[in-house]
Amino acid sequence: MDSSRLSGRYRPIADYALIGDGHCTALVARDGSIDWCCMPAMDADSCFGRLLDARLGGHCQISVEGQDVPPQRRYEPDTMVLTTRFSAPGGQAELHDFFPMLEASGRRETGRLARVVRCTSGQVDVRIEIVPRFDFGEIIPDMRERRPGLYTACGSNKGLLIQCDSNRLRLTDARDALTGSVRLREGEKLRLSIRFVAPEQLEQAADVAGDECGPLDDELRRTMQSWRTWASSMLAPFAQDPLTSRSALVLKALTYEPTGAMVAAATTSLPESPGGARNWDYRYSWVRDSVLAVRALHAVGIEREANRFRSFIERSAAGSAQQLQVMYGVDGKRRLTEVVLDWLEGYEGSRPVRIGNRAAQQMQLDVYGTLLELAWIWHDESRPLDPCYWRFLADAVDAVCLRWHEPDHGIWEFRDRSRHFVHSKAMCWVALERGCQLAREHGFDAPLAHWRDNRDAVRTEIEQRGYDARRGVFVQAFDEPHLDAAALLLPPFGFIAYDDPRMLRTVQALIDELEHDGLLLRYRSPDGFASPEGVFLPCTFWLVRCLAHQGRVEDAWRYYRRATSCANDLGLFSEEYDAVQHRMLGNFPQVLTHVSQMTALRALVRAAGDAQGDGKLRNAGGKPAGTATSSAPAGPPAPPRPGETTAA
């Protein structure tokens, strides 16, 4: 189906804001519609999914009738609590959307969505539509009124307990939706609570339910304080930069609190190419992306997430590197079977819509290097490595010795064929190098000579077959001419110095070949898909880091401003960006992009020196993110500063 014919039925990805509590996630549109919500876990089936099918998906909308100006929105400072402001001829209202934080509210249950709207002046007519759809829109739930203001929705293995402190909410004639309109006067509030309940417990939950709406005001305050307490551990000067602070909060919101797993994004099947088939489920925890994330958090002073993810990976792999996967479910589940949901039309007609991810079964050799890098972070904190964890790590290094000669599917998870990717081989080198270092520094028994021989052999192979001597650059895969932005990750992991002449030439070659409108593509090599994709935002931030460390600081700042101009008004990034139509592409918000923004800014600050760097940081944070200088690459108008109230 032609995506252009459907685009009017779907909001731009940039229109959405993320809310979450470390258990559940939801996306809230500018107009107050929740079009995506997964409860009781981030990778659960959606209960509101209009994002992937405008007709079947379901939604929960709160709006003010007769609005005469577009709504405005912002996050409450240092939180993931969203505030949307509505204006109508007769008055104004303010909507707070959040998931009450478990540890802040004292609740036992998880999976509770809260919405509180208050009239701030005059009077307003508030309209509510609650249209739940389970199993990604396939199930229309049975909805019943239990008492005035209390409703249940049940179907498949899902149940919702819906409570509103207004008696004007009513079931539609078809009994598949709740609608209502309430007039609020200045100071009056309307509260809505939607709680996930297992269907076999729903009857009892409805019978014993008390007032779940009254406490929401206190839970809102406690939730904001919980977020701010977490954010307060971030080091200066990064805590003063709105975009970096927002990135860190997004990483926290996408970390599953019970296990420490971090999902790659809150969504599935948002297209990298509208109307095309590049649609993947990112609601799982990639070892690679998560290690990069905890590295970034650790660098700005937040350590707990790194330590918890280390334990999650060891548990999920059953203590054996032979059973290590590249990704897991948030609960450690290994089998992430890919399924096509053929009843959904997809975002702007982008099909197929997928859940699960077949890439979980791919061999991606870089997973071993990222695993050892995570251990190095632990070691760098002067923490001891216990013998059981060391056996797990040594098993991983031994696995590299056996497997580094093999082709794999690489960091980009190519589905057409495996190759000898340079990035994958370099991360094998990282695993071997870190293994040798850890064994020496902790006095562990290890076959060091064997590991060193393999380490040196990997390097020799890369330098002979992964390096184009004629051009003087590193390529994507052995004996192939294509370039790949993944080469920008070679210096941060220590494989090569930033200022090595080979790396200097590689960076410039990547700019010459892969830059598009001031942003970087991943590659231009064939990948088995006919449809093109947008520029990959993390790659531009990787370029910034390399340029900063190579002394090209002004160039680095220009690319940084261009990349940050691709954030939405709240400071959220998608995975990719269409530089022609100036629109976000891919799953959202994307952990890897936020991680890469954080590390890019850190490199800029370090490159400029502490005193000068702080000034640079204040300068960057004190103007709209992405504001370009006259010499910056051309791009769309820069968004307002993240976190500020802005017109939709």
What is the total count of domains within the chain? 1
Residue 84 lies in a domain: yes
pLDDT category at 183 given cuts 50, 70, 90 is very high
Q: For position 423, what pLDDT does the model report?
A: 98
Dist CA 87 CA 121 (whole Å): 9
CATH number at residue 21: 2.70.98.10
Q: Could you tell me the two tokens for 222?
A: 């406690």
Residue 524 lies in a domain: no
Q: Could you tell me the two tokens for 355?
A: 């859940």
Residue 314 lies in a domain: no
Dist CA 644 CA 617 (whole Å): 18
Q: Could you tell me the two tokens for 600?
A: 């890019």
Residue 420 lies in a domain: no
Summarize pLDDT for 189-219 with one digit per residue, the tens: 999 999 999 999 999 999 999 888 989 999 9
Residue 545, pLDDT above cutoff 50: yes
Residue 111 lies in a domain: yes
Domain that holds residue 126: 3-228
Residue 77 lies in a domain: yes
Angle at 196 between CA 40 and CA 126, to 5 degrees: 115
H/E segment holding residue 543:
helix 537-549
Contact 194, 220 (CB under 8 A): no
Summarize pLDDT for 459-514 with one digit per residue, the tens: 999 999 999 999 999 999 999 999 999 999 999 999 999 999 999 999 999 999 99
Summarize pLDDT for 71-91 with one digit per residue, the tens: 999 999 999 999 999 999 999
Which of 258, 257, 307, 255 shows the shortest CA–CA distance to 286? 255
Residue 29 lies in a domain: yes
Summarize pLDDT for 230-283 with one digit per residue, the tens: 999 999 888 899 999 999 999 999 999 999 999 999 999 999 988 888 999 999
Q: Is-above-0.85 flag for pTM?
A: yes
Q: For position 107, what pLDDT does the model report?
A: 53
Residue 413 lies in a domain: no
Count the Cβ atoms, other than its own, within 10 Å of residue 618: 13
